Amino acid sequence: MSQPRMSQPLSHPALSAADPELAALVGAEEQLQADTLRLIPSENYVSAAVLEATGTVLQNKYSEGYAGRRYYEGQQNIDQVETLAVERAKAVFGVEHANVQPYSGSPANLAAYLAFAEPGDTVLGMALPMGGHLTHGWGVSATGTWFRGVQYGVRPDTALIDFDEVRDLARKERPKIIFCGGTAVPRTIDFAAFGEIAREVDAVLVADIAHIAGLIAGGAHPSPVPHADVISTTTHKTLRGPRGAMLMSRASHAKAVDKAVFPGLQGGPHNHTTAAIAVALREAAAPSFRDYAHAVVANAKALAEALLARGYDLVSGGTDNHLVLIDLTSKEVPGKVAAKALDRAGIVVNYNTVPFDPRKPFDPSGIRIGTPSLTSRGLGTDRMPLVAEWIDRSVQAAAKGDEDALTVIRGEVAELMAAYPAPGLPTA
């Protein structure tokens, strides 16, 4: 494996001159992202163009308000940047309204609460340990303390969302908002079923598509547009944009959404991020992005098959999207032990709860993996058996405490990844 270039970053000359210590850390991170197999399903590599947009002088500008209605002057260019992002979001997702200002996913979801509920109101969302998100009303989040979070889960036998439970809870609790979507859901979200339930109880349906936005944009997952009142998404996962977020809605909800984001929750938008979102959306509109989205899913399915063939238990038995949730109980290796061993082997994952996990969230039974990043580097289905083999060997090494085996795998990983240059990273 090549050595980290701690003292000789290949790029960022101004940063290197002004702050060599920080520049070295950036260089080391570039090396790490180049050498490793990054399997965290919420991460990706942005293109060089998206990366450049985030580093522009647009970050010098304040622009509270919206295009044509700002509280600061000098918006000749910023208004156009934001309008481009908004129009591209509307076109890519087929929505009537888009707000591109939320700083990230959690503020975007909080803005949805602000727009459609009062403190103390009941909201219905998927429980975090079942695959949901903190901001869907989970207790330790502000959304579960300022609002009354009621949570649905998955069926014990199939690990699929239990729509009988969702419907029963909705009828009984009459939530103001229903959230669907999550962070560890390996199967297609049935937006139509959620929409029907939300309409029956007169709730606002918020589809949080953060994980699958790129798949939806590329036609590899059904769209929530006909069914959801509001769509919340981050922009940096499968969508391959900068770290940011968007709220999209029907025209009838546009005012409420915009007012909640600004002035309700946020101050000035991050214009450099808005610009990078616009670039990412242009990329997402290209025919090649459809290929990318479908390749992400094909890779995840191939990886799931290869893991099943090696005797791994997968939550729900496989995947329909970019994500695979592995229950390591039968391997007798805790998720955290496996994740840390995999990290030492150059394979970056996160430990994760599995539905009905008997272990604690900080020391759960599973690991969560996904294929957005490796697909961005050009790995195809033919490589997935090898990825599964590395995971298997690493888990076995973790069980035996075999550090030498992990070092060998790390070398193999770095060698293969060198053949697949990562978008946006300097090439040595």
Q: Which residues are annotated as a binding site?
A: 128, 132-134
* 214 touches ligand DSN (CB under 6 A): no
Q: Which is nearer to ligand DSN, 122 or 234 (CB)?
A: 234
Determine whether 427 is an active site residue: no
Q: Can you read off the two tokens belonging to residue 307?
A: 């893991």
Q: Can you read off the two tokens belonging to residue 415?
A: 């060698």
Measuring CA to CA, how many Å separate 387 from each of 20, 142, 187, 205? 36, 38, 21, 38
CA–CA dist 151, 124 (Å, integer): 6
Q: Can you read off the two tokens belonging to residue 142?
A: 């502000």
52, 62, 167, 190: which is the annotated catalytic residue?
A: 62
* Residues of this chain, 264-293, that bind ligand DSN according to CB under 6 A: none
* 233 touches ligand DSN (CB under 6 A): no
Contact 130, 185 (CB under 8 A): no
CA–CA dist 393, 342 (Å, integer): 9
* 183 touches ligand DSN (CB under 6 A): yes
* Residues of this chain, 29-58, that bind ligand DSN according to CB under 6 A: 42
Determine whether 62 is an active site residue: yes
36, 135, 183, 234: which is the annotated catalytic residue?
A: 234
* 105 touches ligand DSN (CB under 6 A): yes
5, 90, 148, 243: which is the annotated catalytic residue?
A: 243
Give me the phi and psi of 223, to 5 degrees please. -90, 145
Contact 339, 367 (CB under 8 A): yes
Q: How far is the CB of 382 from ligand DSN (least distance, A)?
A: 27
Residues comprising the binding site for (6S)-5,6,7,8-tetrahydrofolate? 128, 132-134
Determine whether 69 is an active site residue: no
Contacts of 85 (CB under 8 A, 6+ apart): 98, 100, 274, 275, 277, 278, 281
* Residues of this chain, 133-152, that bind ligand DSN according to CB under 6 A: 133
38, 176, 237, 377: which is the annotated catalytic residue?
A: 237
Q: Which is nearer to ligand DSN, 78 or 210 (CB)?
A: 210
Q: How far is the CB of 209 from ligand DSN (least distance, A)?
A: 12
Determine whether 172 is an active site residue: no
43, 64, 121, 389: which is the annotated catalytic residue?
A: 64
Determine whether 234 is an active site residue: yes
Determine whether 64 is an active site residue: yes
Sign of CA dihedral 372, 373, 379, 381: negative
Contacts of 56 (CB under 8 A, 6+ apart): 272, 275
Q: How many CB atoms lie within 10 A of CB 267?
A: 11
Q: How far is the CB of 46 from ligand DSN (least distance, A)?
A: 16
β-strand 69-70 against 65-66: which pairing, if any? Answer: antiparallel
* 373 touches ligand DSN (CB under 6 A): no
Instruction: Write out the residues near ligand DSN by the rule CB under 6 A.
Output: 42, 105, 133, 183
Which residues are part of the catalytic machinery?
62, 64, 208, 234, 237, 243
